[in-house]
Amino acid sequence: MSSRTGARLDTKKINSELFTLTYGALVAQLLKDYENVEDVNKQLERMGYNMGVRLIEDFLARTGSGRCYDFRDTAEKIQAGFKLFLGITPTITNWSATGDEFSLCFESNPLTEFVELPDTCLNLKYCNVLTGVLRGACEMVQMEIACWFVQDQLKNDNVTELRVKFIKRLEDAIPAGED
């Protein structure tokens, strides 16, 4: 079989394409199932949350990183997470004066590699799974954050911008009956 072409398939690339296309199939199915695009956005966020809750363990195990000292530290670790899982490095910008809000700017995004939005889907947040992933992952390390898209390349913006806001520290829950 080796005689056919010199080049072997690029496993890494195919693997990320498998992810991209599978995600596309999911979004298409959700659009079919729900009448309302807002519901699709919500469902994607929820699925992302479930993924984030599990992904954080992979992240911590693979990187060996410890607790965050401040929100800037968190921002860098989120950036590293994108590098680890999606192979992209978003830039961290637009810090708020109080340091509790920042933006992640993506110039390219593997999730949207083969995607064009039809006019009927203008309210669809195609990558909304990412907001859920971040929320779920941060919650597992005792941080409540909010996260939303302010710019989207699929809607003809120059970059895709994801805004992240720190809400509060979650205290360790004490099991009932123990003080």
Find the binding residues for another protein in span 99-138 (CB under 8 A): 114
Which range in 64-72, 142-150, 155-163, 165-173 contacts another protein by CB under 8 A? 64-72
Q: What percent helix, strand, coil does the chain show, rounded to 5?
A: 50, 15, 35
Q: How far is the CB of 52 from another protein (least distance, A)?
A: 9
Count residues near another protein (CB under 8 A). 47
**If you count DSSP H runs as helices and E runs as strands, how many of each does the chain have, helices first?**
4, 4
Beta bridge partners of 144: 168
Residues 6+ apart with CB under 8 A from 129: 23, 44, 45, 47, 48, 51, 111
**Contact status: 58 vs another protein (CB under 8 A):** yes
Binding positions for another protein, rule: CB under 8 A: 1, 4-5, 7-12, 14-19, 21-26, 28-29, 33, 43, 47, 50-51, 54-55, 58, 62-67, 76-77, 80, 83-87, 89, 114
